[in-house]
A and B are shown apart, each in its own frame.
Chain A
Amino acid sequence: MNKTEYQKAWLFVIPVFILVAFNAAVPLMTVVNYSFQETFGNNVFTWEGTRWFKQILQSDRFHAALGRQFLFTGIILFIQIPLGIFIALTMPKEGIGVSVCLVLMSMPLLIPWNVVGAMWNIFALPEIGFLGHTLNDLGFDYNFTQQTGDAWFTTVLMDVWHWTSLVVLLSYAGLRSIQPAYYQAAEIDGASRWAVFRYIELPKMKKVLTIAILLRFMDSFMIYTEPFVLTGGGPGNATAFLSIDLVKMALGQFDLGPAAAMSLIYFFIVLLVCWVFYNLMMRNEEQS
């Protein structure tokens, strides 16, 4: 086949190039720029090579924040995915109840993140908050601003409240796409409720669950606003997840070089985990 050379076509692509350049490439390259250099203001830069990267990768502070981050993400995935599937399974399949449930389920997703943080902060305050006060009345020594365990408990509870709905909605969509004939066939075979879930519903939900897990992983791994408003990373550094720690370093201490290096490492971790996870899920997909 003869290809016609028509260079003017590039003109049409230029707006996109410019757009992407300004909202992605330029900011990213600025960070890359900072991560290899030291600056003392006045646009004076000195080359530092990979020093900041080594410093970050060897720092206990980064290890601790990364550990907390993985722990937090692990906990919320462990709670939200099964809980979301369970709620989706119990939701009505027809009638007025469907819309009612869907609207109620979407509510937490519509609330701005910093509002969620503020809400839960007030809600959980030991002296005046409904949750905090009630827990203390019941005899629990609860104070999320002072005790590490309580701070974690509150942060996790807040995230579960805020984001389980997403898993529910995705799972529900997956469940609704299963043809009724599958359930009938299983009934005729005499399959138990568990067998129906394990061999029909779960395999059929696999794709939406992959998406749900990926989204929840990314979002929770990059969580910032809610814990920032709720605990500010405290008490001490107990709930200082990666992004909170990063902002402290960049804006609190103005260590731009190490902060830039940390940003890039952070970015690559998210990218790597998503890539690995996606490939694992898709490889399973091909086999089945």
Chain B
Amino acid sequence: MSLELKNVEKKVGLDTHIYSTNLRFEKNTINILLGSTLAGKTTLMQIMAGLHKPTNGEIWFNEKNVTGVAVQKRNVSMVYQQFINYPNFTVFDNIASPLKITGISSDEIKKKVIEVSDLLKLSGMLDKKPNELSGGQQQRTALARALIKDSGLILLDEPLANLDFKLREELREELPKLFENRDCIVVYATTEPSDALLIGGNTATLEEGKIVQYGKTIDVYNKPTNLVSARVFSDPPINISDVKKNGDTFSLSHDSVKWKSKSISLKDGNYKVGIRPHNITTYKEGANSIEIKGKVLISELSGSESLIHFRNSNMNWVSLSNGTHQMNVGQEAKLYMNVDEFMYFDQNNKLVSNV
């Protein structure tokens, strides 16, 4: 089982919503589409589902061309950001609804509904109507509807975005388990890098209708092929600064911050450095850390982490430290950057090294 997009393109009028895209998803994988709002995640999913026809290109499912095959004949299911359930059906009927038109006997349906509702912890709520449920339970119902069909392709379009923090964490933890041992391809769209990291699987980073990078989630995170992918896959936002390499020394262009390059065989010249916020900390980390000073703009404590925005070299920097480090706005702060985690990009934003 596989899903393949071949040169898929989507234009609406003169606007190109999806630029020519090639992707191949394999059986029993969870594939994450990671990108900001309007990056084209939803459009791409609707094309995969068959809700929209691509302007150009083909969609192959199980090595068969399914471009233009109506969604009803595709055996796909989809879960949305909004909790979409039939408003005047009970939870039971909602979950059963995809099976009802298939002509399966009602005993069989009942068995399946009970099985799926157990899996999603909805057993006690089968007689209730959707609007008597919490948001989390409504979304569980929608998920159950997607699961009961045994579809080959399950599309989840930001399913956790409308849930509050606690419910989101809870459901996110359960999600990968739900799809284990099911012969299906899962596609999961999200704007949250943390979703991708926690769920794992494969990730495709998207920006402005283009797939930037596709690979195993952890690889995409650790080795972004270019700056765009690194930026999409970083929350809080990654720090990007111009650097100059001269001999074995790198220096920030507007500041005296300098560091030795270790084993980089790069030509001298101008580069860009990407530094993830958690590699700028209030304490020294790693063997090679260097000092950076700046004026504190924002200082936030969130539970066990401290987020400090500061200004240096005409640029705003974001740092994320473990533990609580209270700083006052306006004060001069001294922070440390872990040189070993720097990622270097050339002038065309391509990764050149992240030694």
Interface residues of A (CB under 8 A from B): 179, 181-182, 184-185, 187-191, 199-200, 203-204, 287-288
Contacts and interface: CB of A to CB of B under 8 A. Distances in A.
A185 B87 CA distance: 13
A194 to B, nearest CB: 12
A188 B71 CA distance: 6
B131 A288 contact: yes
Interface of A is mostly: helix
Contacts of B88: 199, 203, 288
Contacts of A182: 84
Contacts of B46: 184
B129 interface: yes
A288 B89 CA distance: 8
Contacts of B129: 287-288
Given A179-B82, A188-B49, A188-B71, A288 B101 contact: no
Contact of B51 (A184, A200, A287): A184
B98 interface: yes
B307 interface: no
9 contacts: A181-B81, A181-B82, A184-B51, A187-B72, A188-B49, A188-B51, A189-B97, A199-B87, A203-B87
B86 A200 contact: yes
B101 A189 contact: yes
Contacts of A190: 72, 98, 101
A188 B77 contact: yes
Contacts of A181: 80-82, 84
Given A188-B72, A203-B87, 18 more contacts: A179-B82, A179-B84, A181-B82, A181-B84, A182-B84, A184-B46, A184-B78, A184-B80, A187-B51, A188-B49, A188-B77, A189-B97, A189-B101, A190-B98, A191-B97, A191-B101, A287-B129, A288-B87
A267 to B, nearest CB: 35
Contacts of A191: 97, 101
Nearest to A200: B86
Could you say which of B51, B78, B84, B145 has the most chain A C-beta atoms within 10 Å of its C-beta? B84
A191 B70 CA distance: 13
Contacts of B87: 199-200, 203-204, 288
A199 B89 contact: yes
B71 A187 contact: yes
Interface in B81-122: 81-82, 84, 86-89, 97-98, 101
A178 to B, nearest CB: 10
B76 interface: yes
Nearest to B98: A189
Interface in B1-57: 46, 49, 51
A200 B51 CA distance: 18
A144 to B, nearest CB: 43
A179 B80 CA distance: 11
